[in-house]
Structure 1
């Protein structure tokens, strides 16, 4: 029995497998990873504290739609911003500043926004506390 040719055949097939996996890896499209990953990691604790503050103070805003406007009701007077992030096209992202009126209500016009899935990121200050709230909405 000659084990040499089986050993060479086994090594050859393993090398062919490794080469084919390398070719397959380089023919795949580039990964869509977050280019801001490191910066977001550095600010994670700050964002986490602001999200917990919303839960502690029960300051979650109530979101509704009325006549092509987004109506946001806050529990306290709010001053900050809301970022609309489109799910499929980041070039459509928009930022609006918010400042609630006497009734703690903010109205945001939706004419300049396209239909589809949006991620809303509210960042505001109220009574010397900072808050962060995120929600997914679908704009018709």
Structure 2
């Protein structure tokens, strides 16, 4: 076999590899980088940005602490809202729950049914004085 034949075989192998990757890409039903409601989220981005900035302006960022199988979130004032735990690796494991703080402006969330790993914690709450806030942060559940 001469060198010209080897080059042709190499080119055909590479082209078939690219073709197989294209076929797999087009047959895939989901794209992990694109959210289903990205357009609606884009329209509401200004409101989301304003809520995040309100946390910084009022210095109202909640303090998150992890225990063995629970998470404690301490707020500056009495609050109520929603907590969303988002698993970046698997959307089916996402959790969403409502909360209201106790007398010490804290909430405790049991994590017995939550798998270990990295999560995005999204807190959306309204304080006692009527201000709305939104805070997102990464947490690692041991």
Deviation for aligned residue 1:34 = 1.9
1:6 maps to: none
Instruction: Name the SS for the 1:48 alignment partner.
Output: helix
Partner of 1:131: 133
Contact 2:66 2:141 in 1 (8 A): no
Structure 1 residue ranges, 4+ long, deviating more than 2 angstroms after superposition: 22-32
Return the index of the structure with the highest Cα Rg: 1
Which of 23, 28, 52 is equivalent to 1:27? 23
Unaligned runs of 5+ in 1: 1-18
Count of residue pairs brought into register by the alignment: 121
Q: Normalising by structure 2, what TM-score?
A: 0.78
TM-score (norm. length: structure 1): 0.79
Q: Secondary structure at the match of 2:120?
A: strand
Could you tell me which runs of 5 or more consecutive residues in structure 2 were left unpaired when the two chains were aligned.
1-14
Deviation at 1:28, TM superposition (A): 4.9
Once the two structures are TM-superposed, the CA of residue 125 in structure 1 deviates from its matched residue by 0.1
Q: CA deviation at 1:57?
A: 0.3
Output the aligned Cα RMSD. 1.9
